[in-house]
């Protein structure tokens, strides 16, 4: 149940015409209205609800401990030269690949997912002005022209006849923000806009990282195809050697069949690589906002060196990651919602005013006695709502707790992402060195097996075994390099890709 109070002492209506002249308003009533409005404006500086404080984040094993000076997995990590703790926004330039940089440069202008995120940001920004408009009076008008004829059988005895009614009203309604409900709504919209801007940067970073990973996956497949092409040449020569030995009575027909099987299996693998490569090329085209058939990238085997990435310290991560910034801004927004819910327990104060011109003809609008007006405050308070406001307040508190937990979880996940990719890069680098030795050993073993086969010391089965080991080792070497390149991209993404909170828009 909601009760509205309109004090009679501050309500005034005036209707004047040529035949009726009311008394002038009493000065003390006008003064009373002014005093009440001035008092309301003074009270409007109050705000109920908690002040916002940025939640603590578990950057160390316990909240009370100081944050670590470096990431755990950065031990043994090569520092960037020159020493620089931050990334640039165009982080893909670190890889030094001209084609990759050219493709990355097309995402911002053409990617449709990014355009959708940018549109969501503009929607959130527009909501600031929508909420801010409530800080000011609303002025409206609804002119009307009516022609009336009274019933000849009216029981009221009203004078019969036709008459016109021409009304030009102007209505004003203004809520005094006594308890900060409107101002907190504006703040909440502003914080949601900042969160939406951070969401936009999260999408942008993810899309650039996805393009880089797709690019390296495609180039790894180019390296696989090159390896298979070279292997087929060697297998073709081995098949010809086995055929010649069979013709000379030195090898069996089974060995010829084994050599041919090895060659055709490799040929099938080579063809299958084309399917996966086409898939990645199509994915890159869509990321660039293009039809898949419109993009054609020439084969270029993966043969890059992962860059040295400036990592910085864990404390900086909270300022660099746009997803962390978005989560923190939504905590601030939830804090404003608590204040809005608490303001519902207090009465609302409105200043309403109406005025205009009323006459029988349009000419009456030119006559000063046709004016009418009313002005005065109105209090509105809910007396009984069966616990609705209390439940809304509890819901706001629960929503705040949820956003705090989400914020801390986002930060924890960010630290995990950095540590995971640092360890991945460090371990894969060691594995890559070991795998290079294994590839060299496999090639030596294959050469020895082929020599022994040519000398008639072993069967072709030993050659096939050596060939399979050599091909698998070279496959693994390419795969390790691919994973190192992917981990480099993921580490850059985990570090925020050169973004920081200072780039949030001022709303």
Predicted confidence at residue 141, as pLDDT, reads: 92
Predicted confidence at residue 369, as pLDDT, reads: 82
Q: Which residues on adjacent β-strands are paired with residue 348?
A: 380
Structure tokens at 23: 């008394």
Instruction: Report the 3 state secondary structure along 85-137.
Output: CCCCCCHHHHHCCHHHHHHHCCHHHHCHHHHHHHHHHHHHHHHHHHHHHHHCC
With a CB cutoff of 8 Å and minimum separation 6, the contacts of 485 are 95, 216, 220, 302, 304, 306
CA atoms within 13 A on the CB side of 444: 6
* Cβ-contact 446, 470 below 8 angstroms: yes
Structure tokens at 212: 């880089």
pLDDT digits (tens, 9 = 90+) for 380-424: 999 999 999 999 999 999 999 999 999 999 999 999 999 999 999
Alpha carbon dihedral 18, 23, 29, 31, in 10-degree steps, equals: 80
Closest CA to 307 of 100, 479, 506: 100
Predicted confidence at residue 86, as pLDDT, reads: 64
Q: Please give the Cα distance from 482 to 393 (Å, whole number).
A: 52
pLDDT digits (tens, 9 = 90+) for 475-500: 999 999 999 999 999 999 999 999 99
Predicted confidence at residue 351, as pLDDT, reads: 92
Beta strands in 150-270 (DSSP E): 162-176
Query: What residue segments make up the domains of the chain, in order of their start?
Result: 2-55+86-302+311-503
Per DSSP, 501 falls in state G
Q: Could you list the pLDDT tens digit for every one of the 507 residues in the chain?
A: 555 555 433 333 433 333 334 444 444 555 555 555 555 555 555 788 899 999 988 754 433 344 455 566 555 555 544 445 568 889 999 999 999 999 999 999 999 999 999 999 999 999 999 999 999 999 999 998 888 777 767 666 555 667 778 888 999 999 999 999 999 999 999 999 999 999 999 999 999 999 999 999 999 999 999 999 999 999 999 999 999 999 988 888 999 999 999 999 999 999 999 999 999 999 999 999 999 999 999 999 999 999 988 887 677 888 899 999 999 999 999 999 999 999 999 999 999 999 988 888 777 777 778 888 898 899 999 999 999 999 999 999 999 999 999 999 999 999 999 999 999 999 999 999 999 999 999 999 999 999 998 888 888 899 999 999 999 999 999 999 999 999 999 999 999 999 999 999 887
- 3-state class (DSSP) for residue 324: helix
Tell me the whole-structure pTM to 2 decimals: 0.84
Alpha carbon 477 to chain centroid distance? 36
Predicted confidence at residue 65, as pLDDT, reads: 44
Q: Which residues on adjacent β-strands are paired with residue 3?
A: 381
Task: Compute the C-alpha angle 92/97/101, nearest 5°.
Answer: 50
Q: Which helix (H) or strand (E) holds 238?
A: helix 181-247
Q: How would DSSP label each residue in 242-259?
A: HHHHHHTTSS-HHHHHHH
* Cβ-contact 100, 220 below 8 angstroms: no
Assigned CATH for 2-55+86-302+311-503: 1.20.1600.10
């Amino acid at each position: 149940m909601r009760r509205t109070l309109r004090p009679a002492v501050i309500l005034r209506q005036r209707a004047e015409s040529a035949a009726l002249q009311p008394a002038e308003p009493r000065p003390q009533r006008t003064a009373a209205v002014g005093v009440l409005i001035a008092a309301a404006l003074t009270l409007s500086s109050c705000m109920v609800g908690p002040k916002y404080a940025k939640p603590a984040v578990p950057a160390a094993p316990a909240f009370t401990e100081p944050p670590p000076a470096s990431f755990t997995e950065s031990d043994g990590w090569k520092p960037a030269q020159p020493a620089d703790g931050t990334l640039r926004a165009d982080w893909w330039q670190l890889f030094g690949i001209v084609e990759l940089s050219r493709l990355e440069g097309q995402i911002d202008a053409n990617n449709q997912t990014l355009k959708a995120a940018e549109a969501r940001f503009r929607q959130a920004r527009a909501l600031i002005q929508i909420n801010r408009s409530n800080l000011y009076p609303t002025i409206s008008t609804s002119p009307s022209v009516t022609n009336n004829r009274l019933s000849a059988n009216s029981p009221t005895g009203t004078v019969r006849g036709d008459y016109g009614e021409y009304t030009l009203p102007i209505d004003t309604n203004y809520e005094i923000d006594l308890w900060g409900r409107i101002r907190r709504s504006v703040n909440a919209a502003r914080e949601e806009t900042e969160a939406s801007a951070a969401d936009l940067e999260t999408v942008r970073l993810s899309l650039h990282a996805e393009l880089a990973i797709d690019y390296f996956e495609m180039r790894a497949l180019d390296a696989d195809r090159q390896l298979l092409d070279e292997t087929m040449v060697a297998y073709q020569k081995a098949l010809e050697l086995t055929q010649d030995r069979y013709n000379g009575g030195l090898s069996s027909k089974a060995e010829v069949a084994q050599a041919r099987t090895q060659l055709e299996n490799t040929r099938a693998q080579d063809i299958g690589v084309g399917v996966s490569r086409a898939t990645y090329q199509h994915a890159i085209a869509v990321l660039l906002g293009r039809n898949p058939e419109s993009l054609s990238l020439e084969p270029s085997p993966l043969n890059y060196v992962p860059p040295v990435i400036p990592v910085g310290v864990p404390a900086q991560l909270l300022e660099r990651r746009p997803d962390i910034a978005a989560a923190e801004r939504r905590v601030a927004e939830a804090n404003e919602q608590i204040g809005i819910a608490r303001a519902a327990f207090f009465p609302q104060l409105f200043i309403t005013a109406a005025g205009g011109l009323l006459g029988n003809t349009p000419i009456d609008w030119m006559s000063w006695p046709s004016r009418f007006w009313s002005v005065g405050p109105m209090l509105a308070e809910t007396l009984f709502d069966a616990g609705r406001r209390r439940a809304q307040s509890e819901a706001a508190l629960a929503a705040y707790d949820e956003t705090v937990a989400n914020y801390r979880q986002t930060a924890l996940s960010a630290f995990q992402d950095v540590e995971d990719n640092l360890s991945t890069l460090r371990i894969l680098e060691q594995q890559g060195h070991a795998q290079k030795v294994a590839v060299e050993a496999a090639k030596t073993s294959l050469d020895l097996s082929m020599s022994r086969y040519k000398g008639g010391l072993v069967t072709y089965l030993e050659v096939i075994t050596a060939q399979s080991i050599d091909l698998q080792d070279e496959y693994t070497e390419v795969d390790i390099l691919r994973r190192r390149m992917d981990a480099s991209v993921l580490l850059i993404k985990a570090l925020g890709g050169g973004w920081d909170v200072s780039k949030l828009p001022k709303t």
